[in-house]
Amino acid sequence: MHFGQMISTMRPVSLLLSIGFALAATTLARAQCGPDALGTSRVMRVGAAGGGGVGLKSYPRTLALADKEIVLTFDDGPLPGPTTKVLDALKKECVRATFFLIGRNADANPALVRREAAEGHTVAHHTYSHPAVTLRGLSDEAARADIDKGIAADERAAGAGARAPFFRFPGFADTKPLVDWLARRDILVFGTDVWASDWTPMSPTQQLALVMGRIEKVRRGIVLFHDTREQTAQMMPAFLRELKARGYRIVHIEPGAGRPATVEAGPGWRSETDRLISGLMAARRAAAPKATQ
């Protein structure tokens, strides 16, 4: 089944109710933000019971979104400067997003984390140290410790009540033991459906063209940016305006009960991130100095 046809598998009554709630939320957002703002179309309560993973770049399922519905996510922050500009752009358009924080950045910049929470964004987790070797390069024990330390730092910075059982692996480099461990703790793992590739230097104009082209191909899904990247911060106002101009709607995710509403990938699905990670790790091993005899 093509990604663009997945939503047709949802029950008609549920889909109609979701659309009705979305229209009501959009009307409210426009009333609060003005008719020219993109706004947040609706809130999706995402349950994490039993864990698992969502996002078609890494997992064979993703969130059940309608045509032209987008979930915005940001990794690696907070960082004064770029994160501030991203938050300013989102606030101006009354858009809410999910921030997967690096714990050491949360420790260093708690005021930005508190701002994210206060402005209605979801605070999620991305390890404490974002190890360069990824969690696949650590022992299972060390990886668990880094995850737990990061969650504690994020929650400490965000304050009471800002807790989301959502986690994203650095570099998408998961392992089955870690995914299973997170599942036993009812923590949902996020991949993505669209990446902006903002780890690659480019101009804001180039990045806007790249990410909009990718969004237009799939027409819905979880989008990944990095709020630590200046090019992303500079692009964000134009990106949000472009989404509105093309009729896209923002869905904000918050913790919910039970399991998440998802749709399955079609036949022939393969993990794109796993293929890329395996290639990078093989190249790293080949480039490593040989042990002397």
Instruction: Give, for all 293 residues of the chain, the pLDDT tens digit.
Output: 334 434 333 444 343 444 344 444 444 444 567 889 999 999 999 999 999 999 999 999 999 999 999 999 999 999 999 999 999 999 999 999 999 999 999 999 999 999 999 999 999 999 999 999 999 999 999 999 999 999 999 999 999 778 899 999 999 999 999 999 999 999 999 999 999 999 999 999 999 999 999 999 999 999 999 999 999 999 999 999 999 999 999 999 999 999 999 999 989 999 999 888 876 666 666 766 765 44
Query: What tokens appear for 66 in the block?
Result: 């309608």
- Cβ of 144: how many Cβ atoms within 10 Å? 16
Is residue 50, in this structure, part of any structural domain at all?
A: yes
Is residue 166, in this structure, part of any structural domain at all?
A: yes
Instruction: Count up the domains in the chain and report the number.
Output: 1
8 A C-beta contact, residue 100 and residue 126:
yes
Is residue 289, in this structure, part of any structural domain at all?
A: no
How many residues are listed for the chain in this entry? 293
CA dihedral for 199, 203, 206, 212, sign (positive or negative): positive
Is residue 28, in this structure, part of any structural domain at all?
A: no
Give the domain extent around 126: 41-284
For position 143, which CATH number holds? Answer: 3.20.20.370
CA dihedral for 94, 96, 97, 98, sign (positive or negative): positive
Residue 281, pLDDT score: 67
Is residue 74, in this structure, part of any structural domain at all?
A: yes
Residue 8, pLDDT score: 36
Query: What tokens appear for 45 in the block?
Result: 């309560």
Residue 246, pLDDT score: 98
d(CA 270, CA 274): 9
Is residue 111, in this structure, part of any structural domain at all?
A: yes
Residue 63, pLDDT score: 98
Residue 288, pLDDT score: 64
Is this prediction's pTM over 0.95? no
Tell me how far CA of residue 44 lies from CA of 40, 71, 120, 137, 186, in angstroms.
Answer: 11, 10, 13, 34, 18
DSSP assignment of 145-184 equals HHHHHHHHHHHHHH-TT----EE--GGG---HHHHHHHHH
Residue 283, pLDDT score: 65
Q: Which residues, at least 6 apart from 289, have a Cβ–Cβ distance to it below 8 Å?
A: none
Is residue 12, in this structure, part of any structural domain at all?
A: no
| Encoded amino acid at 20, one letter | G
SS3 252: strand
Is residue 194, in this structure, part of any structural domain at all?
A: yes
Residue 284, pLDDT score: 66
- Cβ of 16: how many Cβ atoms within 10 Å? 11
